[in-house]
Chains A and B, each alone.
Chain A
Amino acid sequence: MTIVQTSTALYTIASKEIGRFLRIWTQTLLPSVITMVMYLIIFGTFIGNRIHVVEHIDYIQFIIPGLIMMSVITNAYTNVVSSFYLGKFTRHIEELLVSPTPNYVILIGYTIGGVLRGLVVGILISIISLLFTKISLYNIPLTILFILLTSILFSLAGFLNSLFAKSFDDISLIPTFILTPLSYLGGVFYSIDLLPKFWQVVSRCNPILYMVNGFRYGFLGTSDVSVMAGLYILISCIAILFITNLILLRRGFGIKT
C-alpha cells in the first residue's frame, strides 16, 4: 500500500472506532462520568470536608487527578478490548484481515480509538470537577503527556487482552481483578507517605502509582514518586506492548486458525 492508502486505512479504522464509542455514548461515556460524580460527591465533598489537607492541598483537589486517571485507564482499556474482541466474536475482524491493511495500522487504529475515548472521558470529568472545586494546572505539557501516554499504554494492553480472549469472560477478568485493584491502590485516594514503610515499598511496585502521581504532579506540582521514573515506565511499557502486539498479529495469534 502507498502512504496515502495506508493513511486512508488508518483513518478508516480510527474513525470507525471513534464513531462506535460516540454512537453508544450511554454505554461508553456516561457510566464513567456518573461514577466519578459519585466519587466527587462522597469522597470529595462529604468525606473530603473532614479530611482538610493532604500534603497541604484540599482533599478533593488531591483526588481529582487520580479519579481522572482511573477513568482514562479503564476507558482506554475497555474500548479496545471490547471492540476488537467483538470483531473476533462476530468475525467482522475478517474484513480487516483479508485486506492489505498492515498490522501496525490495525494496531494504531484501534489504539487511537481507545486513546480518544480515554481523553474524552478525562475531559468530561475535568469539566464536571470544576463544579466541585477549582482546578489549577501546574505543568500543562506534563499533564497532557502523562494522560496521553497512559491512555496509549492501556489501549495497547486492551488490544493484547483481546488477542488472548476466547470468551466475553476473558475481556472482563483483567479490568475487574487487576486494573481496578491496582488503580485503587495506586494512590488515587491517598498519599503513600501515609502508609507504613512495608506497604510503601509494595506500592512502589505498582506501575499505576507512577502514572497517577505523574499526572497529579502536572496538576498540583507534587508527587509521591519520581515523575521521570513514571515517564520511563510508561514509555518502556508502551514499547514492549506495541512490539508484542505486532508479533502476535503477524503470527495471527488469536485471530487466525
Chain B
Amino acid sequence: MKALEVEKLTKIYGDHLKAVDDVSFSVDSGDFFALLGPNGAGKSTMIGIITHLIVKTAGTVSIFGHDIDENPGLAKQYIGVAPQEFNFNIFEKVFNVLIYQAGYYGIARTAAKQKAEKLLRQLDLWDKRNVIVKELSGGMKRKLMIARALIHNPKLLILDEPTSGVDVETRREMWVFLSELNKSGTTIILTTHYLEEAETLCQKIVIINQGKIVENTTLKNLLAKLKKEIFLIDLKHPVDTIELPNQFKFTKLDDRTISFEVSKDQNLASVFEYLNKNNIHILSLRNKSNRLEEFFIELTSKK
C-alpha cells in the first residue's frame, strides 16, 4: 500500500518560478522516508501541497489512495504535519493547543484529553501543559509541534525539519521517539538539514534540487554508491617526522591530525597496518563528514 503517491507535481510561483518541477515519487506504508535538498529546493513547497496549504499548478497527490483534490477530507484524516516554522497561537496554553487540534479532527473532548496527556508525557511536556506557548523554549515548541501532529493518530506523519534549532540531547530523544513511532506502523516523511539524522532514521531517500528529483533510492543503495570515504585520525605524537605514503592520500591537517581517503576497493585495515608498522599511535578515528553529506553535496551542487 502506498502511503503517498506524487505524480508529475508542479508548482510555479508567479509567471515562471518553478519551485517543484514535474516531480513523481511514492512512499510505501511503514517507510521512514527522507526528503532532502538544499534551501529553496522545493521541499517545503511539496509538503505544503501535500498538506493542502499550497495550491499546486499541476499533478496529482494521493494519500493512502485518496486524491487530495477529489477527497480532501479523507486524505487529510491520514496526515499529521509538523511544519518547519512554528505556527501556534502563541497565546494559547500547551494543553489547549492539542485539545483544539483534536477537535478540528472531530475527536471528542474526553478522548482528546487522554491522548493529549499521553503525548505530552511521552514528549516530556506534561509539566508545561498550562504554560502558554510563547513561554516554551525552541526545543519544547518543536516537541509540541510533533505532539500536535500526532493528536489524531495519523497514519502518515510529515516532519519538516523537526529538530531544527534543538539541542543535541533533545534531538536524540526525538530520534528515539520517532523511531519507535515508525516501528509501531506510522509512515514518516522527514525533511532535514542534518544528514546524520536522515542516515540514522530513514530507509529511503529522495534528494531534490531546484525543484527536480536528483536521487530516489534506499539509503543502503545510496551509500553503496560511495566511491570513497575521508577519515580523520587524531595522533598521540606529532607527525612532523613521519613520511606518509601517497596510497591513501594522507594529508597533515596539523601536528597531531591527519586525514586520508579510502576508496571502495581499498581496505581500511591496511591503513592501520601501515600506521602500526611505523609506530604511529592513534588516539581516535572519525569520518571527516557524514557519509550522506558527500552524496548530498555532489548531487545538489550539479547545475
25 contacts between A and B (CB under 8 A): A1-B77, A5-B106, A8-B106, A8-B107, A9-B105, A11-B103, A13-B103, A13-B104, A16-B100, A91-B87, A94-B83, A95-B87, A95-B101, A98-B76, A98-B79, A99-B101, A99-B104, A100-B76, A101-B104, A101-B105, A102-B73, A252-B55, A256-B54, A257-B13, A257-B48
Task: Identify the closest chain B residue to A92 (Cβ).
Answer: B89
A interface, CB within 8 angstroms of B: 1-2, 4-6, 8-9, 11-13, 16, 86-87, 90-92, 94-102, 252, 256-257
Provide the bound-state CA to CA distance between A8 and B111, in Å: 12
Q: Is B106 touching A97 in the complex (CB atoms < 8 A)?
A: no
Provide the bound-state CA to CA distance between A96 and B92, in Å: 15
Give residues 82-111 of B contacting A (CB, 8 Å): 83, 85, 87-90, 92, 99-109
B105 is contacted by which of A11, A16, A99, A102 (Cβ under 8 Å)? A99
Q: A5-B106, A11-B103 are in contact. Are A98 and B88 (CB under 8 A)?
A: no
Q: Which residues in A have their C-beta under 8 angstroms from that of B73?
A: 1, 100, 102
Provide the bound-state CA to CA distance between A6 and B73, in Å: 11
Q: Which residues in B have their C-beta under 8 angstroms from that of A90?
A: 87-90
Q: Is A12 touching B100 in the complex (CB atoms < 8 A)?
A: yes
Provide the bound-state CA to CA distance between A97 and B99, in Å: 16
Q: Is A9 touching B52 in the complex (CB atoms < 8 A)?
A: no
Task: Identify the closest chain B residue to A105 (Cβ).
Answer: B104
Indicate the member of B48, B88, B92, B104 with the most A CB atoms within 10 Å. Answer: B104
B72 within 8 A of A: yes
Report the contact-size class of chain B (Cβ under 8 Å from the partner). 20 to 34
Q: A90-B90, A100-B77 are in contact. Are A95 and B103 (CB under 8 A)?
A: no
B interface, CB within 8 angstroms of A: 13, 48, 51-55, 72-74, 76-77, 79, 81, 83, 85, 87-90, 92, 99-109, 148
Task: Identify the closest chain A residue to B111 (Cβ).
Answer: A8
Q: Which residues in B have their C-beta under 8 angstroms from that of A99?
A: 76, 101, 104-105
Q: Is A94 touching B104 in the complex (CB atoms < 8 A)?
A: no
Q: Which residues in A have their C-beta under 8 angstroms from that of B83?
A: 94
Q: Is A8 touching B103 in the complex (CB atoms < 8 A)?
A: yes
Q: Is A95 touching B104 in the complex (CB atoms < 8 A)?
A: yes
Provide the bound-state CA to CA distance between A98 and B80, in Å: 8
Task: Identify the closest chain B residue to A6 (Cβ).
Answer: B106
